[in-house]
Amino acid sequence: MNFFALIPFMISAISGFCLLGLVLPCRHPKDFPCHAVLSAGLGLGISAFLTWTCFLLLQQFHKTYLISCHVVLLLALLYFYNKKPRTLPGLDKKTALDTALAAVLLAITLTAAWHFGQFYPLGGWDAWQVWNIKAKFLFLGGGHWRNMLQPSLWQTSPHYPLLLPLINVWGWTFQESASPVTPFLTAIIFTGLTAFLPWAILYSWGARRGVPLLPALLLLTHPFFITLGTSQYADILFAFYLLASLFCLLKSLDHEHAGYGILASLFLGMLSFSKPEGTLLALQAFASTVIMQMILPKTAGQNTAAPRPPWGAWIAIFCLALIPTIIFNVFYSPGNQTFINGLSSSSHPASLFRVKMILAFLTVELKSPKWNGIWIFILSGLLLQAPKCFQGKWLLIPVVLLIYLSSVLSYYFLNTYFKIDWWLQVSLHRILFTLLPTCLFWVFGPLCSSRPRQ
């Protein structure tokens, strides 16, 4: 791996940090790690959107346009950042030590993940059949990149949105060829970000020293999580943007700062562009938050009423963030080539057998040895803390997850294109993988959020 492979990621991280700083000022030293992790994800998502504009406007990959866009964005962000200077809070000794310890642990575990991933340098099956092949079409296809959307290439799932391929294309910008190192680097970065986001959030909430590290270490030492995280699939992006969105939505319910709602809208837009089910989840999560804003008691403090959320700005930004997905689905996607409506099909009808298989597989998967009992731990942790986990703002997580899971299981029932046993075998564990970081955060969050920040 050479330095040129790292340049795009560094540019994205800096852009993300400046943008985050404009939207949500970092007021407390303990917020800094959380801002750093969110910045990286935000920056990479924005870079993917900018790369998408290259293909929309110029109909092919154009290195100069892409670099210019990023330079202009960075200069604009730095201009606005300096116009209204926001002094970063100085890191005190304790925060610096805690952050350094976490960084060392992250470096050790990601190094292990890197070596583990090198056993499969080109990733899993879907990495080269679905995601990286699209990145190659975008990067090398010139004006013929749209060939990848032909229905004849149905094995590549041409209806899948393009967040991951576009991030990889951006990652190749400073290189001459479509090096396999870049998709691997993307996978490692997002694995690290996803695992460390729970730590960063819980740490910013002032949790007892060591406790915030537990969900991060549970993920980074989990062999199956590392296997899927380094497989170069879009699932790890989905997991990251889901957790980031839900965290920002939870904070928006706290009425702490309007910036959280803006960030949530941006992350939901990125989530919708990662996988088809991301679009569904983004809409469900946004709608659920709006409803909960209306239902939950509106008090920001003891004697003050909560400020009215800037609905207009949130909805506008959410719609703006959905535009890349909408454009792709309306103008480019050939539609799902692997769909048969089981309710109306006589040759492939949906039946009660399918329901039984789905429920049976779900039960077996949750207690499968490959998960090392983590789902049993999560369910037990939720039961032990039942009042806290299903109270107030925390209700958002089960509401969103339940609606989403119901939709996914219904889709398994409805779409009879594939044999249900094969389909569940190859995909159910990946659905659960994308939900794992959020579920762990849901267990540890109420545990840590009741402590006042020192």
Of 199 and 286, nearer to other proteins (C-beta) is: 199
Using CB under 8 A as the binding rule, whether residue 377 contacts other proteins is answered as yes
- Going 15 to 16 to 20 to 25, the CA torsion angle's sign is negative
Total number of residues binding other proteins (CB under 8 A)?
44
Element (H, E) at 215: helix 213-220
Using CB under 8 A as the binding rule, whether residue 107 contacts other proteins is answered as no
Query: DSSP assignment, residue 129?
Result: I
Shortest distance, position 219 Cβ to other proteins, whole Å: 9
Residues numbered 414-433 forming contacts with other proteins, rule: CB under 8 A: none
Residues 6+ apart with CB under 8 A from 170: 8, 12, 44, 47, 48, 50, 51, 66
> Which x/- pattern over 215-234 shows residues binding other proteins (rule: CB under 8 A)?
x-xx--xxx--x--------
**Which of 33, 45, 278, 381: binder of other proteins (CB under 8 A)?**
381
Residues 6+ apart with CB under 8 A from 169: 51, 61, 135, 138, 139
Shortest distance, position 385 Cβ to other proteins, whole Å: 6
Of 82 and 425, nearer to other proteins (C-beta) is: 425
**Which of 44, 153, 234, 281: binder of other proteins (CB under 8 A)?**
153
Using CB under 8 A as the binding rule, whether residue 152 contacts other proteins is answered as yes
Burial 137-152 (b: 16+ CB within 10 A, else e): bbbebeeebbebbeee
Using CB under 8 A as the binding rule, whether residue 203 contacts other proteins is answered as no
Q: How far apart are CA 248 and CA 358, in angstroms?
A: 32
Of 20 and 382, nearer to other proteins (C-beta) is: 382
Residues numbered 117-146 forming contacts with other proteins, rule: CB under 8 A: 119-122, 125, 128-129, 132-133, 136-137, 140-142, 144-145
Q: What single letter denotes the amino acid at residue 310?
A: P
Question: Which residues would be at the binding site for other proteins (CB under 8 A)?
Answer: 112, 115-116, 119-122, 125, 128-129, 132-133, 136-137, 140-142, 144-145, 147-148, 150, 152-153, 155, 211, 214-215, 217-218, 221-223, 226, 372-374, 377, 380-381, 384-385, 443, 447
